Chains A and B, each alone.
Chain A
């Protein structure tokens, strides 16, 4: 009993530390990445390679006044950033970082991640609505319809995976992908379940970008159109927590992509030992790709974004679902 409690506490601290550290240093990665994509240097003054920049940013945000403008709903306004951050942190509970390194090995782990992931939209909506700002409300309306549109293809591709692997337990899903990179779902399922799996991977990745409100689907912020979208009225740590939530969501999205398609903590070659390092490496490659995409493309138009989901992603993921079902039935 006590060991269980200590285990839980350790994981709680670990997860929060992991999420916070990632959120802080992803800002650094993003800034450095953006700089080099644009052939600049990026942060370099605070610490070696600007590595202390996130601390300086954090100190700055914390020392700033939490401005609560007139006319806002004070409760919603304050609670909204937490509603974005907390579910994101909660989703970490079931992510298997290593073979035995997961806070909770839940049989319905995949479902739980999706369940928590859909709460953060609610946080954005309430925050925008509560801040009584027209730009924020426009952004909130966009984010809601975007998330509804993109959750469907995301779940459809996930269902196809679950059908093929027969489990919703994330750790088990990773275990099934052991023995070299050709056993990863991305490649393995192409032969055993559905030849459309690489496309399913692309769809999953795209919807992941959209769900986490990342460019080119960053409707929640939409800087050049909506000033700062949902965050327009937020200052200081209110804004900071929103930001941490956003980055925690990206980590979750990347981790989930790794677990579902890229074999989680399994090593790419059979003679190398499995380890948490592989998981982290894969995850950060995906995160780098996310950064890379952000600094390459212009933002999509809002209805083009919905068209993409309803006219392209959903039909294709449905086809993928049917093909998977047929394939599994025939072979």
Chain B
């Protein structure tokens, strides 16, 4: 009897399973057709970092304190600055991000006192070579004008 019971309940379970999949078959698709459609990233999305534009001066907000460089666990940030006459503090002359090493942890953004860096919303990055991922963020900021 147990044999027939199992046979019955087993066969029934198979038909229940098929019922579920056929119901799903006629439901609309849930996927996004990526290269044709894409999502806008949420406000907190952590892409690679970029410099924030200073709305007053049009340049960057960096004070070349070097905190981001120190905070970075992987050492991907190189920043340099120089003293210029007539300008208070240092002026940023170089800011490169070696994205090949970056793990997008956000330690740099957190450590930045003047909030001079932020996460970009770029996520579909592709490049032909390793060098393509060494970003000159200062140049990037200028090009964004």
Q: Consider the complex of A and B and state whether they touch directly, i.e. have CB atoms less than 8 Å apart.
A: yes
Interface of A toward B, CB cutoff 8 Å: 33, 35-41, 44, 292-293, 295-297, 312
Asked if A292 and B21 sit within 8 Å, CB to CB, the answer is: yes
Asked if A41 and B25 sit within 8 Å, CB to CB, the answer is: no
B31 shortest CB reach to chain A, Å: 5
Asked if B7 and A39 sit within 8 Å, CB to CB, the answer is: no
Interface of B toward A, CB cutoff 8 Å: 7, 14, 17-18, 20-22, 24-25, 27-31, 33
Among A292, A295, A296, A312, residue most surrounded by chain B Cβ atoms (within 10 Å): A296
- Total contacts A to B, CB within 8 angstroms? 34
A-B contacts, 6 listed (Cβ < 8 Å): A33-B25, A37-B21, A37-B24, A37-B25, A41-B33, A293-B18
A38 shortest CB reach to chain B, Å: 8
Asked if A41 and B31 sit within 8 Å, CB to CB, the answer is: yes
> Interface majority SS on B: helix, strand, loop or mixed?
helix
Q: With the chains together, A297 CA to B16 CA distance in Å?
A: 11
Q: With the chains together, A36 CA to B24 CA distance in Å?
A: 8
Asked if B30 and A39 sit within 8 Å, CB to CB, the answer is: yes
Asked if B31 and A296 sit within 8 Å, CB to CB, the answer is: no
Partner of A296, one of B18, B28, B29, B30: B18
**Chain A residue at minimal CB-CB distance from B22:** A292
Q: With the chains together, A40 CA to B28 CA distance in Å?
A: 8
Asked if A36 and B25 sit within 8 Å, CB to CB, the answer is: yes
Q: Which residues of A contact B27 (CB under 8 A)?
A: 39
Q: With the chains together, A312 CA to B5 CA distance in Å?
A: 12
Q: With the chains together, A295 CA to B17 CA distance in Å?
A: 10
Partner of A39, one of B14, B18, B22, B24: B24
Asked if A39 and B21 sit within 8 Å, CB to CB, the answer is: no
Q: Which residues of B contact A35 (CB under 8 A)?
A: 29
Q: With the chains together, A312 CA to B4 CA distance in Å?
A: 10
19 A-B pairs besides A36-B25, A37-B24, A38-B24 with CB distance below 8 A are A33-B25, A36-B29, A37-B21, A39-B24, A39-B28, A40-B29, A40-B30, A41-B29, A41-B31, A292-B18, A292-B22, A292-B25, A293-B18, A295-B21, A296-B18, A296-B20, A296-B21, A297-B14, A312-B7
Q: With the chains together, A293 CA to B22 CA distance in Å?
A: 10
Given A292-B22, A312-B7, CB of A39 within 8 Å of CB of B31: yes
Q: Which residues of A contact B20 (CB under 8 A)?
A: 296
Q: Which residues of B contact A37 (CB under 8 A)?
A: 21, 24-25
Partner of B29, one of A39, A293, A312: A39
**Chain A residue at minimal CB-CB distance from B20:** A296
Q: Which residues of B contact A295 (CB under 8 A)?
A: 21
Asked if B24 and A297 sit within 8 Å, CB to CB, the answer is: no
Asked if B29 and A297 sit within 8 Å, CB to CB, the answer is: no
Given A39-B24, A39-B28, A40-B29, CB of A297 within 8 Å of CB of B17: yes
**Chain A residue at minimal CB-CB distance from B18:** A296
Q: With the chains together, A40 CA to B7 CA distance in Å?
A: 34
Q: Which residues of B contact A40 (CB under 8 A)?
A: 29-31
Asked if B25 and A296 sit within 8 Å, CB to CB, the answer is: no
Q: With the chains together, A39 CA to B28 CA distance in Å?
A: 7
B125 shortest CB reach to chain A, Å: 22
B130 shortest CB reach to chain A, Å: 30
Q: Which residues of A contact B7 (CB under 8 A)?
A: 312
Q: With the chains together, A205 CA to B30 CA distance in Å?
A: 32
Q: Which residues of A contact B24 (CB under 8 A)?
A: 37-39
Q: Which residues of A contact B31 (CB under 8 A)?
A: 39-41
Q: With the chains together, A122 CA to B135 CA distance in Å?
A: 60
Q: With the chains together, A292 CA to B14 CA distance in Å?
A: 12
**Chain B residue at minimal CB-CB distance from A44:** B33
**Chain A residue at minimal CB-CB distance from B11:** A202
**Chain A residue at minimal CB-CB distance from B7:** A312
**Chain B residue at minimal CB-CB distance from A308:** B10
A59 shortest CB reach to chain B, Å: 22
**Chain B residue at minimal CB-CB distance from A295:** B21
Q: With the chains together, A174 CA to B33 CA distance in Å?
A: 46
Among A35, A39, A292, A293, residue most surrounded by chain B Cβ atoms (within 10 Å): A39
